Protein backbone atom coordinates (compact mmCIF):
# COMPACT_ATOMS: atom_id res chain seq x y z
CA UNK A 1 0.00 0.00 0.00
CA UNK A 2 0.96 3.64 -0.28
CA UNK A 3 1.27 5.51 3.03
CA UNK A 4 1.64 9.13 3.96
CA UNK A 5 3.60 9.50 7.20
CA UNK A 6 3.71 13.06 8.50
CA UNK A 7 6.58 13.97 10.79
CA UNK A 8 8.86 11.54 8.94
CA UNK A 9 12.02 13.28 10.18
CA UNK A 10 10.79 13.04 13.76
CA UNK A 11 11.57 10.46 16.41
CA UNK A 12 8.45 8.31 16.14
CA UNK A 13 7.80 9.10 12.48
CA UNK A 14 11.19 7.94 11.26
CA UNK A 15 10.87 4.65 13.14
CA UNK A 16 7.38 4.09 11.72
CA UNK A 17 8.68 4.72 8.19
CA UNK A 18 11.41 2.09 8.67
CA UNK A 19 8.86 -0.45 9.84
CA UNK A 20 6.42 0.20 6.99
CA UNK A 21 9.21 -0.04 4.41
CA UNK A 22 10.42 -3.31 5.95
CA UNK A 23 6.87 -4.64 5.46
CA UNK A 24 7.06 -3.81 1.75
CA UNK A 25 4.91 -0.67 1.62
CA UNK A 26 5.58 2.56 -0.25
CA UNK A 27 6.04 5.54 2.06
CA UNK A 28 5.82 9.24 1.29
CA UNK A 29 7.24 11.14 4.25
CA UNK A 30 6.19 14.71 4.97
CA UNK A 31 8.24 17.02 7.19
CA UNK A 32 9.05 20.74 7.20
CA UNK A 33 12.18 20.03 9.32
CA UNK A 34 11.69 22.96 11.69
CA UNK A 35 14.32 24.03 14.20
CA UNK A 36 12.44 23.25 17.42
CA UNK A 37 15.43 21.00 18.15
CA UNK A 38 18.68 20.10 16.38
CA UNK A 39 17.94 19.81 12.65
CA UNK A 40 21.12 17.76 12.18
CA UNK A 41 19.51 14.93 14.11
CA UNK A 42 16.44 15.15 11.88
CA UNK A 43 18.59 15.07 8.73
CA UNK A 44 20.52 12.08 10.10
CA UNK A 45 17.24 10.18 10.58
CA UNK A 46 16.26 11.04 7.01
CA UNK A 47 19.63 9.94 5.63
CA UNK A 48 18.98 6.47 6.98
CA UNK A 49 15.58 6.41 5.28
CA UNK A 50 16.95 7.76 2.00
CA UNK A 51 19.00 4.59 1.49
CA UNK A 52 15.83 2.46 1.42
CA UNK A 53 13.67 1.63 -1.57
CA UNK A 54 10.13 2.99 -1.80
CA UNK A 55 10.73 6.04 0.40
CA UNK A 56 10.47 9.66 -0.71
CA UNK A 57 10.27 12.92 1.22
CA UNK A 58 8.25 16.07 0.66
CA UNK A 59 9.16 19.20 2.65
CA UNK A 60 6.00 21.23 2.94
CA UNK A 61 4.33 22.79 5.95
CA UNK A 62 1.21 21.04 7.24
CA UNK A 63 -0.64 24.33 7.36
CA UNK A 64 0.03 24.96 3.64
CA UNK A 65 -3.38 23.73 2.62
CA UNK A 66 -2.84 24.21 -1.14
CA UNK A 67 0.35 22.14 -1.18
CA UNK A 68 -1.07 19.44 1.10
CA UNK A 69 -4.21 19.18 -1.05
CA UNK A 70 -2.05 18.86 -4.17
CA UNK A 71 0.00 16.12 -2.52
CA UNK A 72 -3.11 14.09 -1.69
CA UNK A 73 -4.45 14.55 -5.21
CA UNK A 74 -1.18 13.43 -6.78
CA UNK A 75 -0.35 10.45 -4.58
CA UNK A 76 -3.79 8.97 -3.78
CA UNK A 77 -2.68 7.45 -0.47
CA UNK A 78 -4.27 4.27 0.82
CA UNK A 79 -3.61 5.16 4.47
CA UNK A 80 -2.26 8.09 6.47
CA UNK A 81 -0.28 8.03 9.73
CA UNK A 82 -0.29 11.59 11.02
CA UNK A 83 2.48 12.08 13.57
CA UNK A 84 3.67 15.61 12.77
CA UNK A 85 2.99 18.22 15.43
CA UNK A 86 4.61 21.01 17.34
CA UNK A 87 5.68 19.03 20.39
CA UNK A 88 6.54 19.95 23.95
CA UNK A 89 4.37 20.93 26.91
CA UNK A 90 6.68 23.63 28.28
CA UNK A 91 7.40 25.19 24.87
CA UNK A 92 3.66 25.63 24.32
CA UNK A 93 3.67 28.22 27.10
CA UNK A 94 6.46 30.19 25.38
CA UNK A 95 5.26 29.95 21.78
CA UNK A 96 1.53 29.18 21.70
CA UNK A 97 0.88 30.28 18.11
CA UNK A 98 3.15 27.53 16.74
CA UNK A 99 0.79 24.95 18.26
CA UNK A 100 -2.29 26.39 16.61
CA UNK A 101 -0.57 26.56 13.21
CA UNK A 102 0.87 23.05 13.28
CA UNK A 103 -1.45 21.05 15.48
CA UNK A 104 -4.84 22.59 14.67
CA UNK A 105 -4.51 24.03 11.16
CA UNK A 106 -2.10 21.26 10.14
CA UNK A 107 -4.43 18.50 11.27
CA UNK A 108 -7.27 20.22 9.44
CA UNK A 109 -5.40 19.96 6.12
CA UNK A 110 -4.78 16.25 6.72
CA UNK A 111 -8.45 15.62 7.50
CA UNK A 112 -9.46 17.50 4.35
CA UNK A 113 -7.03 15.43 2.28
CA UNK A 114 -8.47 12.22 3.71
CA UNK A 115 -12.00 13.48 3.06
CA UNK A 116 -11.50 14.36 -0.59
CA UNK A 117 -9.40 11.34 -1.55
CA UNK A 118 -11.13 8.48 0.25
CA UNK A 119 -8.25 7.42 2.50
CA UNK A 120 -9.23 4.10 4.06
CA UNK A 121 -7.76 4.79 7.52
CA UNK A 122 -6.28 7.80 9.29
CA UNK A 123 -4.19 7.01 12.37
CA UNK A 124 -3.07 10.13 14.24
CA UNK A 125 -1.01 11.01 17.29
CA UNK A 126 -2.76 12.23 20.38
CA UNK A 127 -1.06 12.41 23.78
CA UNK A 128 -1.33 11.34 27.40
CA UNK A 129 -1.28 15.07 28.18
CA UNK A 130 -5.00 15.24 27.31
CA UNK A 131 -5.76 13.73 30.73
CA UNK A 132 -4.73 17.05 32.28
CA UNK A 133 -6.17 17.43 35.77
CA UNK A 134 -7.33 13.81 35.94
CA UNK A 135 -5.92 12.32 39.16
CA UNK A 136 -7.40 8.83 38.77
CA UNK A 137 -4.75 6.25 37.90
CA UNK A 138 -4.34 4.49 35.59
CA UNK A 139 -5.63 6.82 32.89
CA UNK A 140 -8.36 5.10 30.88
CA UNK A 141 -9.91 6.14 27.58
CA UNK A 142 -13.28 6.11 29.34
CA UNK A 143 -12.10 9.00 31.57
CA UNK A 144 -13.01 12.63 31.00
CA UNK A 145 -10.36 14.67 29.19
CA UNK A 146 -12.09 18.03 29.40
CA UNK A 147 -9.57 19.82 31.64
CA UNK A 148 -6.16 20.11 29.92
CA UNK A 149 -3.40 22.01 31.73
CA UNK A 150 -1.30 23.06 28.72
CA UNK A 151 -2.04 24.44 25.28
CA UNK A 152 -0.24 21.45 23.78
CA UNK A 153 -2.74 19.16 25.52
CA UNK A 154 -5.63 21.33 24.39
CA UNK A 155 -4.53 21.02 20.75
CA UNK A 156 -4.32 17.24 21.06
CA UNK A 157 -7.79 17.07 22.57
CA UNK A 158 -8.92 19.30 19.70
CA UNK A 159 -7.43 16.87 17.20
CA UNK A 160 -9.56 14.08 18.66
CA UNK A 161 -12.69 16.24 18.38
CA UNK A 162 -11.84 17.22 14.80
CA UNK A 163 -11.24 13.59 13.85
CA UNK A 164 -14.58 12.56 15.34
CA UNK A 165 -16.37 15.27 13.39
CA UNK A 166 -14.86 14.08 10.10
CA UNK A 167 -15.59 10.45 10.95
CA UNK A 168 -19.20 11.42 11.63
CA UNK A 169 -19.74 13.74 8.69
CA UNK A 170 -17.75 11.95 5.99
CA UNK A 171 -17.45 8.36 7.26
CA UNK A 172 -13.64 8.59 7.43
CA UNK A 173 -12.22 5.84 9.69
CA UNK A 174 -9.97 7.52 12.27
CA UNK A 175 -7.95 6.13 15.16
CA UNK A 176 -6.26 8.37 17.73
CA UNK A 177 -3.34 7.10 19.81
CA UNK A 178 -2.53 8.75 23.13
CA UNK A 179 1.23 8.26 23.44
CA UNK A 180 2.81 7.97 26.88
CA UNK A 181 6.40 9.35 27.20
CA UNK A 182 8.15 7.66 24.29
CA UNK A 183 11.91 7.06 24.57
CA UNK A 184 14.67 5.16 22.79
CA UNK A 185 17.42 5.49 20.14
CA UNK A 186 17.16 8.54 17.88
CA UNK A 187 14.96 10.18 20.52
CA UNK A 188 14.14 13.86 20.93
CA UNK A 189 16.77 16.11 22.59
CA UNK A 190 14.08 17.91 24.60
CA UNK A 191 12.94 14.73 26.36
CA UNK A 192 14.12 13.69 29.82
CA UNK A 193 16.25 10.69 28.82
CA UNK A 194 18.22 12.69 26.26
CA UNK A 195 18.60 15.73 28.52
CA UNK A 196 19.68 13.66 31.51
CA UNK A 197 22.13 11.53 29.56
CA UNK A 198 23.76 14.54 27.90
CA UNK A 199 24.11 16.41 31.18
CA UNK A 200 25.51 13.45 33.11
CA UNK A 201 28.04 12.65 30.35
CA UNK A 202 29.15 16.28 30.32
CA UNK A 203 29.31 16.52 34.11
CA UNK A 204 26.52 19.08 34.32
CA UNK A 205 23.57 19.10 36.77
CA UNK A 206 20.15 17.86 35.70
CA UNK A 207 16.90 19.64 36.53
CA UNK A 208 14.59 17.40 38.55
CA UNK A 209 11.11 18.90 38.65
CA UNK A 210 8.57 18.63 41.46
CA UNK A 211 11.46 17.70 43.77
CA UNK A 212 11.61 14.33 42.05
CA UNK A 213 8.04 13.41 43.05
CA UNK A 214 7.02 12.44 39.54
CA UNK A 215 6.27 9.21 37.72
CA UNK A 216 5.91 8.50 34.02
CA UNK A 217 4.69 5.58 31.93
CA UNK A 218 7.91 5.47 29.86
CA UNK A 219 7.25 3.57 26.62
CA UNK A 220 10.04 2.23 24.40
CA UNK A 221 9.99 3.27 20.76
CA UNK A 222 9.83 -0.29 19.35
CA UNK A 223 6.73 -0.97 21.44
CA UNK A 224 5.11 2.24 20.20
CA UNK A 225 5.82 1.33 16.58
CA UNK A 226 4.46 -2.18 17.10
CA UNK A 227 1.25 -0.69 18.47
CA UNK A 228 0.90 1.72 15.55
CA UNK A 229 1.44 -1.02 12.99
CA UNK A 230 -1.09 -3.28 14.67
CA UNK A 231 -3.77 -0.63 15.03
CA UNK A 232 -3.53 0.73 11.50
CA UNK A 233 -4.62 -2.69 10.23
CA UNK A 234 -7.72 -2.53 12.47
CA UNK A 235 -9.95 -0.13 10.56
CA UNK A 236 -12.84 1.14 12.70
CA UNK A 237 -16.37 0.83 11.40
CA UNK A 238 -19.54 2.70 12.24
CA UNK A 239 -21.55 1.36 15.17
CA UNK A 240 -25.17 2.52 14.76
CA UNK A 241 -26.16 1.01 18.13
CA UNK A 242 -23.71 3.23 20.08
CA UNK A 243 -25.43 5.86 22.20
CA UNK A 244 -23.73 8.74 23.94
CA UNK A 245 -25.76 8.23 27.10
CA UNK A 246 -24.51 4.67 27.53
CA UNK A 247 -21.30 4.51 25.48
CA UNK A 248 -17.74 5.53 26.23
CA UNK A 249 -15.96 8.62 24.82
CA UNK A 250 -13.29 6.57 23.04
CA UNK A 251 -15.86 5.13 20.62
CA UNK A 252 -18.80 6.46 18.62
CA UNK A 253 -21.56 5.63 16.20
CA UNK A 254 -19.06 6.96 13.62
CA UNK A 255 -15.97 4.94 12.51
CA UNK A 256 -13.87 6.54 15.26
CA UNK A 257 -11.71 5.21 18.08
CA UNK A 258 -9.13 6.44 20.58
CA UNK A 259 -6.60 4.28 22.45
CA UNK A 260 -3.91 4.72 25.05
CA UNK A 261 -0.56 3.36 23.94
CA UNK A 262 1.87 3.10 26.84
CA UNK A 263 3.97 0.73 28.86
CA UNK A 264 1.24 0.15 31.46
CA UNK A 265 3.91 0.33 34.16
CA UNK A 266 4.77 3.79 35.55
CA UNK A 267 8.28 4.47 36.86
CA UNK A 268 9.24 6.98 39.53
CA UNK A 269 11.45 9.76 38.20
CA UNK A 270 14.22 9.02 40.71
CA UNK A 271 14.24 5.34 39.65
CA UNK A 272 14.50 6.51 36.05
CA UNK A 273 17.52 8.67 36.92
CA UNK A 274 19.16 5.86 38.87
CA UNK A 275 18.77 3.52 35.87
CA UNK A 276 20.49 6.09 33.64
CA UNK A 277 23.30 6.47 36.20
CA UNK A 278 23.83 2.70 36.26
CA UNK A 279 23.92 2.50 32.45
CA UNK A 280 26.45 5.35 32.26
CA UNK A 281 28.35 4.23 35.37
CA UNK A 282 28.31 7.84 36.50
CA UNK A 283 26.35 9.73 39.14
CA UNK A 284 24.15 12.69 38.34
CA UNK A 285 24.25 16.06 40.05
CA UNK A 286 20.64 16.87 40.92
CA UNK A 287 19.11 20.34 40.74
CA UNK A 288 15.81 19.89 42.58
CA UNK A 289 13.10 22.21 41.26
CA UNK A 290 9.37 22.88 41.73
CA UNK A 291 6.65 21.61 39.41
CA UNK A 292 6.63 23.38 36.06
CA UNK A 293 3.54 25.06 34.65
CA UNK A 294 1.56 22.73 32.42
CA UNK A 295 3.13 19.57 33.89
CA UNK A 296 1.44 16.72 35.73
CA UNK A 297 2.78 14.61 38.60
CA UNK A 298 2.03 11.17 37.15
CA UNK A 299 1.00 9.33 34.01
CA UNK A 300 -0.10 5.70 33.80
CA UNK A 301 -1.76 4.09 30.79
CA UNK A 302 -4.59 1.60 30.94
CA UNK A 303 -4.15 -0.25 27.61
CA UNK A 304 -6.78 -2.96 28.09
CA UNK A 305 -8.87 -1.95 25.07
CA UNK A 306 -5.82 -1.77 22.75
CA UNK A 307 -4.67 -5.19 23.96
CA UNK A 308 -8.14 -6.65 23.48
CA UNK A 309 -8.34 -5.39 19.89
CA UNK A 310 -4.77 -6.02 18.70
CA UNK A 311 -3.02 -8.21 21.26
CA UNK A 312 -0.58 -5.36 21.91
CA UNK A 313 1.63 -5.88 24.98
CA UNK A 314 4.77 -3.80 25.68
CA UNK A 315 7.88 -5.99 25.44
CA UNK A 316 10.79 -3.76 26.48
CA UNK A 317 11.74 -3.20 30.11
CA UNK A 318 13.18 0.12 31.27
CA UNK A 319 16.76 -1.09 31.81
CA UNK A 320 16.97 -2.59 28.34
CA UNK A 321 15.42 0.48 26.74
CA UNK A 322 17.74 2.92 28.50
CA UNK A 323 20.81 0.83 27.70
CA UNK A 324 19.77 0.75 24.03
CA UNK A 325 19.40 4.52 24.01
CA UNK A 326 22.76 5.11 25.67
CA UNK A 327 24.52 2.74 23.25
CA UNK A 328 23.05 4.76 20.37
CA UNK A 329 23.92 8.08 22.06
CA UNK A 330 27.56 7.10 22.60
CA UNK A 331 27.92 5.95 19.01
CA UNK A 332 26.09 8.90 17.44
CA UNK A 333 27.92 11.55 19.49
CA UNK A 334 31.17 9.59 19.76
CA UNK A 335 31.34 9.95 23.54
Return the active site residues. Answer: 152
CB atoms within 10 A of CB 223: 21
User: Do the beta carbons of residue 266 and residue 298 sit within 8 Å?
Assistant: yes
Q: Tell how strand 286-288 and strand 219-220 pair up.
A: unpaired
CA distance 130 to 262: 14
Measured at the alpha carbon of residue 183, what is the angle toward residues 217 and 202, in degrees to the nearest 5? 115
DSSP string, 249-285: TT--SSSEEEEEES-S--EEHHHHHHHHHHHHT-PPP
Neighbouring C-alpha atoms within 13 Å toward the C-beta of 175: 26
Question: Which stretches of 121-172 are DSSP H helices?
Answer: 151-170
- Which residues are CB-neighbours of 61 under 8 A, at least 6 positions away? 32, 67, 106
CA distance 293 to 291: 7
Q: Tell how strand 79-82 and strand 267-268 pair up.
A: unpaired
User: Helices 151-170 and 106-116, interaxial angle, to 10°?
Assistant: 10
Peptide bond into 287 cis (omega under 30): no
CA distance 28 to 6: 8
Phi-psi region of 288 (alpha: psi -120 to 50; beta: other; left: phi over 0): beta
Amino acid sequence: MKYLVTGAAGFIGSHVCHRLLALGHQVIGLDIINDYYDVNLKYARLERLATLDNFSLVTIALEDRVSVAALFAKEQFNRVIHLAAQAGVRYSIENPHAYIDSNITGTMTILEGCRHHKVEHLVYASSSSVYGMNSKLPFATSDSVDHPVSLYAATKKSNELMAHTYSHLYNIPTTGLRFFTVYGPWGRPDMALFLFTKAIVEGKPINVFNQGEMSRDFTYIDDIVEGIIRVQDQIPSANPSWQQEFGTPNESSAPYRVFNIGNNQPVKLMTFIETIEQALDKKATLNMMPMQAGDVAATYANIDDLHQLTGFTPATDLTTGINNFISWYREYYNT
